[in-house]
Every structure is written in C-alpha cells, then in structure tokens.
Amino acid sequence: MGTWPFVNRVNRFGSFKAPQLREVELTGPYFHNGGKLTLRQVVDFYVRGGDFPVTNSTHRDFNILNLNAELQSDLSEEEKVALVDYMLEFTDDRVALEAAPFDHPQLILPLDGTAPESDGTINRDAMLTGCVLAPALFGPGQQFCAGNAAAVAAAPTATGPLFLNVPATGAAGNPGGRIPNFLGIAGAAPDAANPGGRQRLVGAAAFCGTNVTSQYCH
C-alpha cells in the first residue's frame, strides 16, 4: 500500500501510470488489459465516458465525461477521426523501419515455455534448424525455427516452432519494410516501404464489424 504519509502514491485509487503517445500506433492493443484494438476505439471509450459511464458514474474520474451527453460542444465525427490522424503522426519511421538509432543485432527468442535452456548443446546453430518464414503478422524477414531438427523429422505435426529468429537490421533499416501493427491493423501513412498506405475510414465505413483492419475502425 505504499509508505506513510503518501499511501499508495503510485497506484492511488486504482489509477494507472499511462505510457507516452510516441509510437502509439505500434503499441496496441491498448489499455492495461488490452481491451481496445484500435486508436478509434480508444477515442470512442473516452468520448462516451468509459465502457460503463452510468454504472461507474460515482467512481469514475471527474475528468472523464460523456462528451456526447454531458457537454454542449459535442465532438463531431470529423473531430474524432482527426484525433486518430493526430495520434498516428507520433510514429517515428525510424522505429517502424528499425533504422538507426533503432537498428538491432540478430535476436533469437523463445516462442513459448517449451524452448530448451542453453546448456552448451543448444547453441545458435541448433536453435536455427528447421526455419521457415514466419507469418506476415510478425516482423519482416522473421522466421519460425524448430530448434530441434531430429524432433521435427520424427513428429512434424506434434513439434511446433520453439524459437523466433529476428534478423539483424542495419542503419538503413529493415529491407523487408515496416514492422507490422498488432494483428496487422493498418495505420501508417503511405510511403515507399508501405504502399498499401493508411485505411482512413470515416462515418459508416468505420463500423468494421468483425473485419477490423484499420486504426480508424470502431
């Protein structure tokens, strides 16, 4: 609970220390519980005063209001979309492309708790056996590696990938393009590395249902 006389100063009354907005496009899903998939869903959350604006009315922060009902100056659809536009501008292309000063060496990461410990026999070469290109939802050029060629050969359907091989990037960035957003949600502005560009959705088009593909989707 903290130290007297400032009891629970960091996490007072259930509040959370909010992360910065820099690179927010690349850090989804959002909120401490991952409850929102897109930036537009985050905007809608605050506009309506939270997910339970009525039942939580006595406990919510007084700064969180239902802007659709409790203020005379309601936010228009265009203004809500403009907030998403604004947050997407915080993406540094050097981060998205893993270019200097955000380049990195090769990384070999365990995919789950079944990856073996390095005991001298599980070396770099052993971990990089049976590698195949990872799905597009992973970073460009990344590979799934079994880490045990004999086990894969004996039971190819039972033994899944144990390691993720993340290739090194140099100062110029990843030649494979931008790192993807969570679940492949589109948000980046069009450029040479991302010719698909931004899926900017307004009005009825932003109600994406189960096919959420853009940071502008409700």
CA distance 161 to 1: 42
Give the residue from 205, 184, 188 showing the smallest Cα distance to 218: 205
Regarding whether 180 and 130 lie in a shared domain, the answer is: no
Indicate whether 75 belongs to any domain. Answer: yes
CA distance 8 to 148: 48
Of 123, 142, 166, the residue at which a domain comes to its end is 166
CA distance 215 to 27: 12
CA dihedral 21, 26, 30, 36 (to 10 degrees): 130
pLDDT digits (tens, 9 = 90+) for 10-32: 555 556 677 889 999 999 999 98
Indicate whether 11 belongs to any domain. Answer: no
Regarding whether 132 and 75 lie in a shared domain, the answer is: no
Indicate whether 182 belongs to any domain. Answer: yes
- Predicted pLDDT at 194: 47
Indicate whether 2 belongs to any domain. Answer: no
Q: Categorize the per-residue pLDDT at 81 as very low, low, confident or very high, splitting at 50, 70 and 90.
A: very high
Indicate whether 137 belongs to any domain. Answer: yes
Indicate whether 130 belongs to any domain. Answer: yes
- Indicate the average pLDDT of the chain: 80
Of 133, 149, 166, the residue at which a domain comes to its end is 166
- Structural domain containing residue 26: 20-102+171-218
- Predicted pLDDT at 1: 46
- For helices 39-47 and 77-88, the axis angle rounded to 10 degrees is 130
User: What is the share, in percent, of the chain residues with pLDDT greater than 70?
Assistant: 78
Regarding whether 131 and 86 lie in a shared domain, the answer is: no
pLDDT digits (tens, 9 = 90+) for 121-168: 677 887 888 888 988 888 899 998 876 655 545 545 455 678 899 999
Q: Categorize the per-residue pLDDT at 71 as very low, low, confident or very high, splitting at 50, 70 and 90.
A: low
Most confident stretch, 67-76, 117-126, 132-141, 192-201: 132-141
Regarding whether 160 and 124 lie in a shared domain, the answer is: yes
Q: What is the domain count for the chain?
A: 2
Indicate whether 9 belongs to any domain. Answer: no
Regarding whether 24 and 78 lie in a shared domain, the answer is: yes
Indicate whether 67 belongs to any domain. Answer: yes
Regarding whether 180 and 158 lie in a shared domain, the answer is: no
Cβ atoms of 180 and 138 within 8 Å: the answer is: yes
Report which DSSP code applies to 198.
Answer: -
